[in-house]
Structure 1
Amino acid sequence: MPSPAHAFPFDPRHGHTRETLLGVPAPTAPEDFEAFWRGRYEEALAVDTAPELGPVEAERDGVRVHGVTYTSVGGVRLGGWVALPDGTPSPGGGGAARYGFVVGHGYGGRDRPGPDLPLPLPGAAAILPCVRGMGTRGLVPGIPDTADAHVLTGIGARDTYVLGGCVADLWCAASALLTLVPELELPGAPRLGYLGESFGGGLGALALPWDERFGAAQLTVPTFGNHPLRLTLPCTGSGEAVRAHHREHPGVTEVLAYFDAATAATRLTLPTLVAAALFDPAVPPPGQFAVYNALAGVRELRVLTAGHFAYRGIAEEIRELRAHRERFFREHLGE
C-alpha cells in the first residue's frame, strides 16, 4: 500500500511494511515491573472517588450525557462526562445499564464527548474522564496542559512521572462509574470495557493488565510502545519532546522502562482489539504494532492506512472500524 502524500522531513512509516511491523518486539521489563504497577493499582483502588453527577448536558445516541467530577490518587479532583442509557433511573438506584465503558482520550484532552459516542453496545453506560492536566475538566495546578510539556512532567523518577498519575485517573474513573451505576457490579453482570485512542490507547495498555474489572478493550493507534525504539524515531507528537529530553538526560530510559505500553501488553490477557496504522507522523507505527504483537491474550488487529493524518478513504475506514468494534465487544463483553 503506497504512503499518503506528505511534506514531513521524515518517513512516517520509518521504512516499515506491514510484515516487518508484525515483527517489532516489546522491550524486556524491569524486574519489579509488575510489583510497581500492582502497587499503583492497589493505591488507586483504595481511593474514595466520591463522584458527583451534574445536570444533563446533552441527549444523543441513545444516552443522556452528564458532567461529572471525581477524586483520583493524591486527592486530585478531576472532571469529565458520564453517559447513561436513556431510561435509566437516577444513579445509585439501579437501572437499565448492562455494560460499562471507560473511554480514554488523545493527547490534548477533550472538551466534549463528541466523537466518543455512540458507544459500542446498546444499553451501555460510560465515563469519559479528563486525566490530570488534560482538557478543560482535567486542569491541575503544576501540570502543563500541552502535550510536549505534559509528557515530561515528573519524568525524572518513576514515582513522580505524570503518566503514572494518568493511569491511576483511569482506574479511579472506573471506580467512579461503578459507584454511579452499581448494577454493573452485581453478580453475573458483564464487566467493563475500555476504549482508548493514541494517548488513551497507551494509557490503557498500562492500566488494563492489573485491573480484573475489565473484560475487553480497544486500543487505537496506541502510543508509548517500545520506548527504546521510539527514542530513535522522529515524530510530530509528544515522543519528540521525550527524544529531545533524552539527548540531555540519557538516564531517563530507566524511568521510561516502567511506562512502556508494549512491555505492559505482555501482561495483558483480556481480549483486545488494536487498530494500528502503517503511516503515522505523530505516533511511530513500530511502537503501535509492538503493543499488538506483545498482547498475551485473545487479540485482533485492524490495520489503518494512516493515523493522526487525513487521507482519502479515512471516513470509510472509520466506519469499518466502528463496525468491527461493535462486533468485538458483543462477542467478548456481551451476554
Structure 2
Amino acid sequence: MSALVHDFPFDPAYGFTLPELLDVAPPPAPDDFDAFWRDRWDAAARVTPEPWVGPLVEERTDGRVYEVSYASASGRCGGWLVLPPEGEPVRHGFVIGHGYGGRDGVGDALPLPLPGSAALLPCVTGMPVRGLRAEVPSSAERHVLHGIGDRDSYVIGECVADLWGAASALTELAPGLAGRGRLGYLGESFGGGLGALALPWDERFGAAALTVPTFGHHPLRVTLPCVGSGEAVRGVLRAGSGDVAARVMGVLGYFDAAVAAGRVGVPVLCAPALFDPAVPPPGQFAVFNGLGGERELFVLSAGHFGFAGEAEERGRLAGVVEAFFGRWLGARG
C-alpha cells in the first residue's frame, strides 16, 4: 500500500522494508532464561484456580457471557467466561489476552474462531476493569515500569502467570478441555507479547495467534521512539544512571517475547505490522522470526493506527485465524 500519512515526529515504519524486517533476529537469551521461566511456571501450576462464575451477562447466538474470577499466582483475577449456546457441548477452548488498556467486556472477541468453543478472557494484574489492584498502576505508561528493577518483582511476570491461571480456571470449568494441546491462545499487542512469554512452558496450549505482539527484541526496541509503553521504558533508561540502565536492561532480557518465541513448539500464526507508532515493527517481526515451531505469517499494513482499508484487512485476518485454528485444533474437538 502507499505510504501512510501521519503527524508523528518519527517514522512508524522506522525505515525497514519487509525483507529487512524478516531478517531481524531475536537477541541473545540470558543464560538462565529457561530456568527462570520454568520456576515461574512451576509456582503458577501449584495454584488451585478456584473459579467463580457470576450470573449471565449477555446471551448471543454465538455464545453466553458470564463474569468470572479465579486465583492466580499473582492474586485473584477477574474477567469474562464465554460458553457455547445453551445445549451445545464444549469442544474447544481459548484463552484470550487483551491490549495495554485492559478490557471492560468481551468486545469483538465473539464469534470465537471455532464453533462449540469456551473461552476465558482475563484482565491481568493491574489492568482495567477486573484486574485492578491498589498497589499496581493501571495506566500502560506506569504499569510497564512496575517492579522493573528486579526480574522477580516485575509486573509482566505476574501478568504471564495470570494467563496460565486463566487456562487452569477454564480447564476446571470445562474438564473436557484438560490435557496437552487442547487450548488455543489469542492475543494482540500487550496480549500478544504476554502470549509469547507464556506459551513455551504450558503444554495445555496447542496453537496460538499473536497479532502485533509487543515486548520483542528489547535491545533494539529501546532505541526506537514510539507512543506506547516502550517510550516509558525509554524514559527510564534516559533518566537513569548507567547502573540503572544496566539493571533495567538485564531485567528486560528475561521478558523478551522474541527470545521466548524460540522456545515455542506449537503452531503460531503471527500478524505483525509494517507500520506501528506504538509497537515498533522490528520488535514484532523479531517475535515471528524467532518462533521455534510451525509458523504462519500474515502481514498487516499498520497496527495501532487507522487507515483506509483497515476493516477489510482485519476481516481477512479473522478468516485466516479461523482457518488456522481449524487446522490445528479443529480435529481435537
Which category describes the TM-score, using the shorter chain as reference length? over 0.9
Residue deviations 1:229-256, cap 9 Å, x none?
A: 0010000000000011112131210000
1:111 to 104, 107, 112: 104
1:233 to 199, 212, 224: 224
2:252 to 247, 252, 256: 256
Closer/same/farther in 2, CA of residues 61 and 209 from structure 1, 3 Å limit = farther
- Determine if contact 1:61/1:117 at 8 Å carries over to the other structure: no
Number of the residue aligned with 1:179: 172
- Give the C-alpha shift of residue 60 in structure 1: 2.0
SS at match of 2:275: coil
Separation in 2, partners of 1:105, 1:145: 14
- Determine if contact 2:181/2:207 at 8 Å carries over to the other structure: no
- Give the C-alpha shift of residue 87 in structure 1: 2.4
SS at match of 2:253: helix
Separation in 2, partners of 1:236, 1:190: 36
Separation in 2, partners of 1:123, 1:23: 39
Output aligned runs, 1:168-317, within 5 Å. Answer: 168-185=161-178, 191-247=182-238, 248=240, 249-251=244-246, 252-317=248-313
Number of the residue aligned with 2:40: 40
SS at match of 1:324: helix
Structure 1 spans left out of the alignment, 5+ residues: 89-94
Output aligned runs, 1:49-128, within 5 Å. Answer: 49-74=49-74, 76-88=75-87, 96-128=89-121
Number of the residue aligned with 1:332: 328
Percent identity among equivalent residues? 61
RMSD across aligned positions (CA): 1.1
Matched, 1:15 2:15: yes
Counterpart of 2:319, as a letter, is A
Residue deviations 1:134-187, cap 9 Å, x none?
A: 01100011100000000000000000000000000000010000111111127x
Closer/same/farther in 2, CA of residues 33 and 190 from structure 1, 3 Å limit = closer
- The alignment of Structure 1 onto Structure 2 pairs a total of residues equal to 326
Counterpart of 1:82, as a letter, is L
Separation in 2, partners of 1:190, 1:298: 14
Separation in 2, partners of 1:111, 1:43: 29
Separation in 2, partners of 1:17, 1:36: 35
SS at match of 1:108: coil
- Give the C-alpha shift of residue 2 in structure 1: 2.7
Q: TM-score, normalization: structure 2? A: 0.96
- Determine if contact 1:98/1:190 at 8 Å carries over to the other structure: no
Q: TM-score, normalization: structure 1? A: 0.96
Closer/same/farther in 2, CA of residues 2 and 327 from structure 1, 3 Å limit = same
SS at match of 2:330: coil
Separation in 1, partners of 2:66, 2:97: 17
Separation in 2, partners of 1:194, 1:204: 7
Number of the residue aligned with 1:91: none
Separation in 2, partners of 1:157, 1:3: 41
SS at match of 2:86: coil
Counterpart of 2:5, as a letter, is A
Residue deviations 1:251-296, cap 9 Å, x none?
A: 2100000000000001111000001100000000000000000001
SS at match of 2:203: coil
Residue deviations 1:173-218, cap 9 Å, x none?
A: 10000111111127xx960000000000000000001110000000
Counterpart of 2:318, as a letter, is R
Number of the residue aligned with 2:317: 321
Number of the residue aligned with 1:92: none
Counterpart of 1:219, as a letter, is L
Counterpart of 1:322, as a letter, is A
Separation in 2, partners of 1:117, 1:244: 37
Q: Which runs of 4+ in 1 moved over 4 A?
A: none
- Give the C-alpha shift of residue 3 in structure 1: 2.3
Of 158-167 and 60-69, deviating more is 60-69
Residue deviations 1:54-90, cap 9 Å, x none?
A: 011011251100000111114x1110000000125xx
- Determine if contact 2:103/2:123 at 8 Å carries over to the other structure: yes
Separation in 1, partners of 2:132, 2:139: 11
